[in-house]
Amino acid sequence: MNIVVEAKQIKKVYGAKGNIFSALEDIDLTVMEGEFVGIMGPSGAGKSTLLNILATIDDPTTGNIVVDGINLTKMNEEQLSAFRRDKLGFLFQDYNLLDTLTVKENIILPLALAKLNIKELERRADEVADKFGIRDILNKYPYQISGGQKQRTAASRAIISKPSLILADEPTGALDSKSATDLLESLKDLNEQDKATILMVTHDAYAASYCNRVLFIKDGKIFTELVKGKRSRKEFFNKVLDVLSALGGGANDVI
Amino acid sequence: MTLFSLARKNIKGNFNNYFVYFVTLVFSMVIYYTFTSLQYSEKIQESIELSDTMSFMFGVSSIILILFVAIFILYSNSFFTRKRKKEVGLYAILGLRKKTIAKMLFYENLVIGIIALVIGIILGTLLSKLFAMILIKLMGSITDVDFGISFLAITQTVIVFMVIILFTSVQGYRLIYRFKLIELFYAEKKGEQIPKVSLISAVIGVLLLVVSYWLILKPFPDEFTTEYLIKNYGIAFVALFIGTHLFFRSVTVYLLRLSQRNKSRYYRGTRIIETSRLLFRIRGNARTFTVIALLSSATICFLGATYSGYYSNEKRTEEVVPFSYSHLSKGPEFDSQVESIIKADHRHPIKAQLDIPVIQVKGILSFQLDYDINPVQLISESTFNKAANALNKDETVSLSRNKAAVIQPRFTEYTKSVFKGENITIQLPQESSKLPFVHMVESNVLPFDYPDFFLVVSNEMFAEIAKKEAPLTYKVYEVENEVTAQATSKKVNKLVGNDFQVSSSFYTEYKQGKEGNAITLFIFGFLGLVFLAATGSIIYFKQLTEANEAKGHYEILRKIGVSRKDIRKSIKKQSLFVFGLPLTVGILHSCVTLYFTSNFMSNLIGINLIVPILTAIVFFVIIYAVYYVLTVNTYNRIVNK
């Protein structure tokens, strides 16, 4: 199996002389193809910083990151943009949909930017719309649909370019429990059936229980790691809760 | 903490928000002060000969300026207040009484206004000298401009702006009473929705534009009445106004929607982003676009027309006063006196000098002409040819014995065909003779004097008539470089007096025309500059507000993988649309109007006005381009950093 993400010795330091705050300290992370990895930790632990660095939106102070065989630290801005467009799919808590575009236009945006031909573009749009059950709302605008529908739209956009890696930042954070479960089920299907590689930051233990493996971060360092293995989701959920209570600070976030 | 100091702290803390408003205020004041100080400048009034016209023009323009400045300030004030609604809401939540907040806003506005006024007047004093120099240069005077402070102008500026400032301050005072608390908080969150396509209003918009163009371009009717003028152009203007608005509101929406239909184009690259953003914003922009298109077309029209007048002054003067000096012969002594004055001017040597004998007779046309032809002025064929030659005109006539050629009366548009086949009966004391017209020429030889009806007759005929009716002799001189012959012209004018309705020397007529045109050109140029700056700033402000709202939008795009370069390109395209569309429409409107006026004008003065009109348009486009670059850079800095 291929390695999708290989990050070594990642360090992120904020601030100037005298007033230094390190958000990440020597993080090593490897994600294999077809994995569904969760990253958990209390607020301010550095989860989002890590995700942003992997997403190439932020750059590490030191360290080396290879995604899908490409070394991120050696690319310039334009190459990084192209890389994000072609290799990464994003899912955010606040959906990040463009409200000037219809649902369909939002979904196909990455393909349009990559100047894919129109037939292939339409075919893929239909395919993902079916997958997430949003066919009926394709011509609506974001301000006309519900939060769950928005997040499914965002998920469709994230996978339409068949990215090597899907990065999800608290995707269920703003959803009601029904919509959250729907979304997580969809992500699981995506992972199991299409072998999509997903990296998800969350502080919701329920969401984390859908992953194959969960990394816990505290104060910028990896605290521990849980692998689901043959456990049922329920058992895994309890395990995650145990670690969280050991971690402290995160207890309030449990549903 | 007193209210006053709270207000002052607010201004300090919110400097960025205030800055734009402040700049607007200062700008308006500088413009107004400069204008009024020019109006009251004695030096300028002294240096020109038309000071009645000038003060009238200045007076009217300063009223237009007040109106415009007031609207501009109110606009930016409302723009500025909108940004601060939330802050005001916060004060209310923190427990300040409504009355206290209202007072605070009142003071704030007053403080800003007064500071702006002081700065405006100081800057205005500096700038007014510059503008005075421009005006004097345009008029071709050599007076030196002093660096003075005009108290009249200061008083007037202070009064006008204190009224405006008090008004906006009262508006500020009322803000808290006008809205509910909740409305203050959600002021900036009003979501815009995608506009619906209305084919009907798009069609009506296009139709109205077509109708108004047609009305404007329609040739003059035979009978030209005020009623026609008001009706025809009144309707044309209203149709143009509404049509333009509908154009921006519906036609552009329709066209953008149409461009979305072609999926393989639309779904390619960043076009999808730009088109949808423009579509989204169009409703909010339609009114601004309309105002800007109409304002810029009016400005281009006025600038083009006045610049044409300025530009064509020399040509026009050559028609009205063909020779450098002309006078009626009043005996050898008088004539030689004039001659010696002209000869004494060594810097303007005489190129040609001739006598033009003219016989004044009574004549009756064989047809109806709505021009008073009597007394008909006859000149001989050889005199005409000599004069035309001296003026470097290549028109010559050769006539058989009893034929005549007419010289086109000035300021009329009679064509050859009017006189073709017709004749004139010349009445002499004992007899009358019938002269058929064979020709019409356009070169004039004497200064304009109504009625301007000259006939060229054959030499034999002229000699024959001269026996019965003694000719008057005009002495004319053509000198080198006549446009600078100020001193000699003055002397000649004094001696000659009023032989004609216009001046007897070219220079005087030329100078007067130049001054008159320079003043109109300056005033329209000044107003044009103000309109231009104001419309440019309005788009600029609007785009910046939009940029602040669109920050999130572009952040998403960056995350999805649009490079900074592409975002910049996309901003460029959108701004080009926002600046280009109203400008294009404005230029189109003004071209149509100018086409009409220039047809009308070039008939009068006989020259092509393409150069001055193009100059005005190019000037306009260049200033807009500066605003465009400025907007793209700032926009880009806001969303793409």
Give the tens place of pLDDT for each residue, B300-354: 887 777 777 787 888 888 888 888 888 888 888 888 888 888 888 888 888 888 8
Residue spans of the domains in chain A: they are 36-45+74-253
Q: Which chain A residues are within 8 Å of B264, Cβ to Cβ? A: 117-118
Q: What pLDDT, on a 0 to 100 scale, did the predictor assign at position A33?
A: 92
Q: What pLDDT, on a 0 to 100 scale, did the predictor assign at position A254?
A: 46
Q: How far is A208 from chain B (nearest CA, A)?
A: 24
Average pLDDT over residues B25-29: 86
Question: Does residue B475 carry a pLDDT above 60?
Answer: yes
Q: Which chain B residues are within 8 Å of A106, Cβ to Cβ? A: none
Q: Which residue of A has its CA nearest to B277?
A: A100
Average pLDDT over residues B72-84: 77
Residue that has been written with the tokens 């009806």 in this structure: B453
Q: Is B459 helix (H, G, I), strand (E, B) or coil?
A: helix
Q: What pLDDT, on a 0 to 100 scale, did the predictor assign at position B599?
A: 66
Q: What pLDDT, on a 0 to 100 scale, did the predictor assign at position A147?
A: 87
Q: What pLDDT, on a 0 to 100 scale, did the predictor assign at position A251?
A: 46
What is the spatial distance between Cα A10 and Cα A220, in angstroms, rounded to a whole number? Answer: 10
Question: Does residue A32 carry a pLDDT above 90?
Answer: yes
**Whose CA is closest to A47, among A244, A199, A246?**
A199
Average pLDDT over residues B214-240: 80
**Using the beta-carbon criterion (under 8 Å), do A115 and B273 form an inter-chain contact?**
no
Instruction: Closest CB to A78: pick one of B280, B559, B563.
Output: B563
Q: Which chain B residues are within 8 Å of A100, Cβ to Cβ? A: 194, 273, 276-277, 279-280, 553
In a domain? residue B604 = no
Domain boundary, last residue among B504, B525, B553: B504
Size of interface A-B (CB pairs under 8 A): 82
In a domain? residue B205 = no
Average pLDDT over residues A250-254: 47
pLDDT band at residue B393 under the 50/70/90 scheme: confident
CB proximity A111 to B under 8 Å: yes
- Kindly report, residue by residue over A86-111, the tens digit of the pLDDT: 889 988 888 888 888 899 999 999 89
**Using the beta-carbon criterion (under 8 Å), do B270 and A86 form an inter-chain contact?**
no
Give percent above pLDDT 70 in chain B. Answer: 90
Q: What pLDDT, on a 0 to 100 scale, did the predictor assign at position A181?
A: 92
B178: CB partners within 8 A, 6+ apart: none
Q: What pLDDT, on a 0 to 100 scale, did the predictor assign at position B191?
A: 54
Same domain? For B186 and B335 the reply is no
In a domain? residue B516 = no
pLDDT band at residue B207 under the 50/70/90 scheme: very high
**Using the beta-carbon criterion (under 8 Å), do A81 and B563 form an inter-chain contact?**
yes
B308: CB partners within 8 A, 6+ apart: B598, B601, B609, B612, B613
Q: Which chain B residues are within 8 Å of A164, Cβ to Cβ? A: none
Question: Does residue B163 carry a pLDDT above 90?
Answer: yes
Average pLDDT over residues A237-248: 87
Question: Does residue B60 carry a pLDDT above 60?
Answer: yes
CB proximity A254 to B under 8 Å: no
pLDDT band at residue B146 under the 50/70/90 scheme: low
Instruction: Closest CB to A57: pick one of B559, B563, B564.
Output: B559
Q: Which chain A residues are within 8 Å of B191, Cβ to Cβ? A: 99, 143
Q: What pLDDT, on a 0 to 100 scale, did the predictor assign at position A255?
A: 45
**Using the beta-carbon criterion (under 8 Å), do B280 and A77 form an inter-chain contact?**
no
Instruction: Closest CB to B270: pick one of A111, A113, A121.
Output: A113
What is the spatial distance between Cα B269 and Cα B569, in angstroms, rounded to a whole number? Answer: 11
Mean confidence (pLDDT) of chain B: 82
pLDDT band at residue B516 under the 50/70/90 scheme: confident
- Do residues B92 and B98 make contact, with C-beta atoms less than 8 angstroms apart? yes
Provide the CB-side half-sphere exposure for B506 (13 A, CA).
27
CATH architecture of residue range(s) A36-45+74-253: 3-Layer(aba) Sandwich (3.40)
CA dihedral of B377, B381, B387, B388, whole degrees rounded to 10:
110
Amino acid occupying residue B577: F
- Do residues B299 and B476 make contact, with C-beta atoms less than 8 angstroms apart? no
Q: Which residue of B has its CA nearest to A54?
A: B559
Bridge-based pairing of strands A36-40 and A213-218 is: parallel
**Using the beta-carbon criterion (under 8 Å), do A121 and B558 form an inter-chain contact?**
no
A43-47 contact pairs (CB < 8 A, 24+) = A43/A203, A43/A249, A43/A253, A45/A217, A45/A218, A45/A219, A45/A220, A46/A12, A46/A217, A46/A219, A46/A220, A47/A201, A47/A203, A47/A217
Domain boundary, last residue among B461, B488, B504: B504
**Other beta carbons less than 10 A from residue B266's beta carbon:** 17
Domain boundary, last residue among B487, B504, B521: B504
Q: Is A119 helix (H, G, I), strand (E, B) or coil?
A: helix
What is the spatial distance between Cα B134 and Cα B486, in angstroms, rounded to a whole number? Answer: 21
Q: What pLDDT, on a 0 to 100 scale, did the predictor assign at position B600?
A: 62
Question: Which structural domain, as residue segments, surrounds residue B411?
Answer: 326-504
What is the spatial distance between Cα B294 and Cα B585, in angstroms, rounded to a whole number? Answer: 8
CA distances from B361 to A46, B369, B427, B453 (A): 107, 18, 7, 11
Most confident of A207-211, B61-65, B189-193, B375-379: A207-211
Q: Which residue has the higher pLDDT, B471 or B150?
A: B471
Instruction: Closest CB to B264: pick one of A84, A118, A141.
Output: A118
| CB contact residues (below 8 A), chain A span 63-102, against chain B | 77-78, 80-86, 88, 90, 92, 96-101
Q: Which chain B residues are within 8 Å of A85, Cβ to Cβ? A: 560-562
Q: HEC string of B352-413?
A: EEEEEEEEEEEEEECCCCCCCCCCEEEEEHHHHHHHHHHCCCCCCCCCCCCCEEEECCCCCC
- Kindly report, residue by residue over A173-216, the tens digit of the pLDDT: 888 889 899 999 989 998 998 888 999 999 889 999 999 999 99
Q: Which residue has the higher pLDDT, B207 or A15?
A: B207
CB proximity A143 to B under 8 Å: yes
Q: What pLDDT, on a 0 to 100 scale, did the predictor assign at position A125?
A: 92
Q: Which residue has the higher pLDDT, B578 or B417?
A: B578
Question: Does residue B240 carry a pLDDT above 70?
Answer: yes
In a domain? residue B456 = yes
Average pLDDT over residues B271-276: 88
In a domain? residue B183 = yes
The 10 Å CB-count burial string (b at 16+, else e) for B81-115 is bebbbeebbebbeeebeeeebbbbbbbbbbbbbee
**Whose CA is closest to B167, among B229, B248, B113?**
B113
Q: How many domains are there within chain B?
A: 2
**Other beta carbons less than 10 A from residue B257's beta carbon:** 16
**Whose CA is closest to B32, among B68, B7, B78?**
B68
- Do residues B546 and B632 make contact, with C-beta atoms less than 8 angstroms apart? no
Give percent above pLDDT 90 in chain B. Answer: 10
In a domain? residue B345 = yes
- Kindly report, residue by residue over A47-96, the tens digit of the pLDDT: 888 988 988 888 888 999 999 888 988 888 888 888 888 889 988 888 88
What is the spatial distance between Cα A172 and Cα A184, in angstroms, rounded to a whole number? Answer: 8
pLDDT band at residue B401 under the 50/70/90 scheme: confident
Same domain? For B342 and B491 the reply is yes
- Kindly report, residue by residue over B167-197, the tens digit of the pLDDT: 988 888 887 787 777 776 665 445 556 677 7
What is the spatial distance between Cα B517 and Cα B309, in angstroms, rounded to a whole number? Answer: 6
**Whose CA is closest to B128, among B244, B5, B37, B14?**
B37
Q: Which residues does B contribute to its contact with A (CB < 8 Å)?
A: 191, 193-194, 263-264, 267-273, 276-277, 279-280, 553, 556-566
Question: Does residue A46 carry a pLDDT above 90?
Answer: no
pLDDT band at residue B54 under the 50/70/90 scheme: low
Phi and psi for A35 in degrees, rounded to 5? -90, 155
Q: Which residue of B has its CA nearest to A99?
A: B553
- Kindly report, residue by residue over B97-125, the tens digit of the pLDDT: 888 888 888 888 888 899 999 999 899 88
Question: Does residue A118 carry a pLDDT above 80?
Answer: yes
Q: Is B169 exposed, middle or buried (0-12, 13-18, 19+ CB in 10 A)?
A: buried
Average pLDDT over residues B602-609: 57
